[in-house]
Amino acid sequence: MSYSDRQRDSLTAAAAAKASVKRSQTSAPSPLPSFGSGGPPASPSPSVASTTSVTLATTPVKKRNGPGGPVALGLPVGAAIYSQPENTGVGTAIGTNIVYALDYLKQQGGKPASLSVVLGHLNMHREPEAVQRQIAERMRHHPRIMWRPDDGAAPESNGVAADDAWKTGTYEHKPIIPNVKDRTALLQYLQRRTDAQGVNVKDLKDGWPDCEAALAALEREHKVLVVRTKKDNHPRMVWQDDPSLCFTVEPEFQSLWHRAAIPSVEDIVGKLTAAGQKPTSEDPRLRALNQPKEKKAKKRAQRRTGKSTNTHMEHLLKDYSALKR
């Protein structure tokens, strides 16, 4: 047999094997025919094509474990895929839950809450212990959250807590301006201040949310000075006021004051000049208006001739603009 004949036979056998594999995967195998008492005839020695087709046809096909599962990627069932981290938002989720925990403690109005209560409000009581421990650690070191240990709890030794020590203690909201939750405490706080800076109402609302009614009442009593916003008339800054400095002007005097005609600046200057007196200001506004304006001479831009290369034409390229009258 020549070489070309052998190549043709091998290609034919491979094509037959592929066709047999496709038929075996798409259709069920037909039952074997009965050959009577004599039994089936002796089959010849199996060829390469027939062995391949039988092996592929009898191999069970495993179901895929999802579109991106291990089976689809050629991995065994249950194998972990490390192309992406399992949890990429742990830090962001913990930071967000700390903000929610702070809002929850602020709503409690200074009442302490245990860690289990806070985790239950955040719906994180079923999270792994490592996540809960991290939340407790962040809450203990938060500048706006106060942690109080339980009464009679054993102190930590060498800075290392016991296995369940992170679950103990209670948490409270620490306001920006502490211990100011009524008008009396506010007046005492303003009296203790040694500077002239006002108190921001936003910081005051952090520990006393409904303080606007009390501020309005104190303002009517002239005990505080309130600066309000122009758009919504909401209080923005608060200072201490003294009621003894507030005087009532009689209505008759107010009417006389409003009926009095106030002369203009020009009339005052004219009357002082007519009386032989020199005005202290001499109306600087009029003096500025009557002063003649100086005309600034425009500077003529010098002509740039550039580098001359034709030396025999220098007398033609010379600038004589300075001799112009």
Q: How do residues 222-280 score in pLDDT, each as one tens digit?
A: 999 999 999 999 999 999 999 998 888 999 999 999 998 888 888 888 888 889 887 77
pLDDT band at 299 (very low <50, low <70, confident <90, very high): confident
- The domain boundary, picked from 245, 270, 296, lies at 245
* Assigned domain for 291 exists: no
- The domain boundary, picked from 203, 229, 245, lies at 245
196 and 168 in a common domain: no
Contacts of 199 (CB under 8 A, 6+ apart): 177, 189, 190, 193, 237, 238, 239
* Assigned domain for 82 exists: no
216 and 197 in a common domain: yes
Which of 187-201, 261-275, 292-306, 309-323: highest mean pLDDT?
187-201
pLDDT band at 70 (very low <50, low <70, confident <90, very high): low
169 and 95 in a common domain: yes
* Assigned domain for 136 exists: yes
105 burial type by CB count under 10 A (0-12 exposed, 13-18 middle, 19+ buried): buried
Q: Which domain holds residue 225?
A: 183-245
* Confidence check: pLDDT of 198 > 60: yes
Least confident of 2-16, 57-71, 229-243, 247-261: 57-71
pTM: 0.47
Structural domains in the chain (count): 2
189 and 223 in a common domain: yes
Token couple for 222: 């002239």
192 and 215 in a common domain: yes
192 and 168 in a common domain: no
- The domain boundary, picked from 191, 222, 245, lies at 245
pLDDT at position 300, please? 77
* Assigned domain for 122 exists: yes
169 and 106 in a common domain: yes
pLDDT at position 139, please? 93
* Confidence check: pLDDT of 174 > 80: yes
- Provide the CATH number for the domain around residue 105: 1.10.10
168 and 118 in a common domain: yes
pLDDT band at 298 (very low <50, low <70, confident <90, very high): confident
Least confident of 71-80, 153-162, 243-252: 153-162
193 and 169 in a common domain: no
Stretch 125-141: mean pLDDT = 90
* Assigned domain for 56 exists: no
* Assigned domain for 1 exists: no
CA angle 32, 37, 39 (to 5 degrees): 45
* Confidence check: pLDDT of 124 > 50: yes
* Assigned domain for 273 exists: no
* Assigned domain for 223 exists: yes
CA-CA-CA-CA dihedral for 16, 17, 20, 24, to nearest 10: -170
Q: Give the tens place of pLDDT for each residue, 101-116.
A: 999 998 888 889 999 9
pLDDT at position 158, please? 42
Specify whether the CB–CB gap between 132 and 198 falls below 8 A: no
Q: How far apart are CA 109 and CA 173, in angstroms?
A: 8
* Confidence check: pLDDT of 219 > 80: yes
210 and 169 in a common domain: no
208 and 169 in a common domain: no
Q: What percent of the chain has pLDDT over 70?
A: 70
144 and 118 in a common domain: yes
